[in-house]
Chain A
Amino acid sequence: MQTDRRDFLKLSMVGAAALSTMSGGATLSGCTSSGPASGMKLLRPEDVELLRALTPAVMKGKIAPGDTASIDQTLQSFDQLMVDLSEPVVAGVLQAFDVLSFAPTRGLTTGQWSAWSKASLQDAESALARLRDSSIGLLNAIYAAAIRLIISAWYLIPENAATTGYPGPPKKVASVAPAPAPAEEAAP
């Protein structure tokens, strides 16, 4: 039992290493572009294509597949979120997206053999489920990072945050003094 698990882990690591090498090949061979997409600060054209497919699946019930206005708004928020992260984190996210965008690794890891622009909602859902359920930790981590960023990007838009029953924070006005402290509060 123990040996099986160790062998399995070793296999997973080999799988993960192969994937990162292959997607590294994607960048080296020029299959992914280096510059940001038009209107974006960091997201590249292939990231935009990927996220256009994944966003309606991740935000099912909030964004319909054809709702390009909502998708675009979420992608703008996502792009700003990337700007607010650090350089090493952004590099990691873009590498993860390389795995999902580069045709051979895209097909192997998500089952999406045609371009993301051709993916239906069901294709995107099935791709996400494959990443989530994979026995390769790296793919689970890519899933976690992708959905966390998409979800955060959507809920960071104040009108979306309001759909949770959150009325929002108090208003901040520089010239108003705060209320006095509750009387019972004092150091012991």
Chain B
Amino acid sequence: MIDLSTVTLGSTTDPYNKAAERGWQITDASQITAPIELEADVVIVGTGAGGGTAAETLSQAGLSVVLLEAGPLKTSSQFDMQERSAYRDLYQEGTGRGTKDGGMVILQGRSVGGSTTVNWTTSFRTPPETLKFWGEHMGVSSCSVEEMAPYFEHMEKRLNIHKWPQAPNNNNMMLQRAAEKLGYPWATIRRNVRGCLNLGYCGLGCPVDAKQSMLVTTIPGALDNKAKLIHHARAVRVLREGDVVKGVEAEALTPNVRGTTGQTITVRATRTILAGGAINTPAVLLRSDAPDPHGRIGKRTFLHPTTLAMGIYEESIDPFYGAPQSIYSDHFQWQNVDTGPVGFKLEVPPLQPAFAAGFYAAAGEEITQSMDKLNHTQCMIALMRDGFHEDSQGGAVEIDDKGQPIVDYPINDYLLEGVRRAFNVMLEMQFATGAKSARPAHKQARHYVSWKEAKAAVAELDVAAHKSTIGSAHVMGGCPMGDDPKRSVANSDGKFHHLDNLYIMDGSLFPTSIGANPQLSIYGLVYKLSSNLLTQFKA
């Protein structure tokens, strides 16, 4: 039993406390009373993994950069490790974002730093199988393992990405033990942390700036290079003159980022980069009426649909504390690449109470009695690798009549077969490590007391879309890159096919899901694309 509630932490590490001293130019658009008009070499929409990386790379070379961020600027001084404030301030739609038919909840960040401010620090290079598939089937050029390696190396160094050296918490340890027992290969996860205190609050904003998110690395780097950051500024559309993009028009949001103030921000720039993430980037293009002769914008949106199982143990697990993800297994991930049933990656999530309760998706004593034992609860998650098989073409980002993005992603039988298989795999792993009871994430399920009982029950469950609990923390695709404009939105340099001076630099470029937590895939790819873009300015 660990008790961190008696520990006292400071926030003297917050780089934004010295913003004035360092001459940083940061504007809170919610406070402006007159329109802002700016000119720059480059305007970047979004400050997450893509926008942050591009901003540092381009500003370092001396280009003038303006960053627009729809979310608020929240920093470690304000990160209090409370679930309510974190979900309200740091997540899209207060964690209420979901797919159109309500089949999946989507966790995505929304503050300066984007999802990197709230992710669980898990860092994988894009798997070789994925890069190969992009090269061979999706028309992406120069994306081999060898060609990508230097870009990953650079970002790994920049963000101190290294194998987690401390012991895994018990939540992760159970995954390791189960894998060992059942003969599945497992490995230790690499994390982007420096001076990590092993607290477990990555998902609520790192209170001590140990997580090397964009918030504390590339954005301060870009600000040191005279980049301008405007937050509470939501990009509405790109400015166009004929086939040439000339910048971005944004609207100022109210302090709680739920409404608009009526003020506008206009940035005219030589190059425009969209990096708002795989939901907001296609939405900006759709709101801009960007040419789309082959109807590709917003299509092929991938989510790594994720399901889970909860196991209750005799021993303490304390799944709310400790580095959230340190062990994984790919045993069920790459048995086939684009044929056969869907592959999935096995990991664990951190379980602070409200988050865990939402994950349970149960009612009555099934949830209240289970939650009484949260400190003895282990959770496995299976992240399904969508976008490779012909029966897995992903979803689509659309906009409603107010221009707000909607993700339409029906969960089909191909994925549901994976859900049922993953239930069995995860439950067997939990019972193999001594779980007293375990429950798959299905609304009609309960805690079963043996693997035999669980297996029989899962065989009988109606594994339908809305009866199973499926969620997503990884949004990818929607503006796939590739050299054939009939099948893609941007070329392999991230340039939008149908307009000049417009680039996309975020996870929306991925032509399939990654098959691993995507942050390092975004860092590496965007470091490459933004380095290539620099050569245009030098020419």
Contacts and interface: CB of A to CB of B under 8 A. Distances in A.
Interface string A147-178: 11001101110101101111111111111111
Interface residues on A, range: 35 or more
A125 interface: yes
A85 B375 contact: no
Given A174-B77, A178-B13, A185 B195 contact: yes
B353 A84 contact: no
A32 B400 CA distance: 24
A81 to B, nearest CB: 8
Nearest to A161: B353
A165 B400 contact: no
Given A141-B102, A143-B443, A165-B376, A176 B466 contact: no
Given A151-B360, A187-B160, A168 B12 contact: no
B3 A133 contact: no
A131 to B, nearest CB: 9
Nearest to A158: B82
Task: Identify the interface centre among B7, B84, B357, B362: most chain A CB within 10 Å of its CB.
Answer: B357
Given A140-B443, A143-B443, A169-B5, A89 B97 contact: yes
B5 A85 contact: no
A170 B7 contact: yes
Nearest to A182: B166
Interface string B341-364: 000000000001110111011111
Interface residues of B, number: 83
Given A137-B465, A187-B157, A188-B162, A172 B207 contact: yes
Contacts of A144: 102, 361, 443, 466, 469
B484 interface: no
Contacts of B483: none
Interface of B is mostly: loop
Given A89-B93, A188-B163, A155 B375 contact: no
B8 A173 contact: yes
Nearest to A77: B84
A174 B11 contact: yes
A184 interface: yes
Given A151-B367, A180-B195, A185-B165, A137 B84 contact: no
B487 to A, nearest CB: 29
A169 B4 contact: yes
Given A155-B353, A174-B11, A188-B162, A164 B372 contact: yes
Contact of B84 (A87, A128, A138, A156): A156
Contacts of A168: 4-5
A108 to B, nearest CB: 18
B290 interface: no
14 contacts: A59-B368, A85-B96, A88-B93, A137-B465, A142-B102, A144-B361, A155-B353, A156-B84, A161-B352, A163-B371, A166-B375, A169-B82, A171-B8, A181-B210
Interface of A: 57-62, 80-81, 84-89, 92, 125, 128, 132-133, 137-138, 140-145, 147-148, 151-152, 154-156, 158, 160-161, 163-182, 184-188
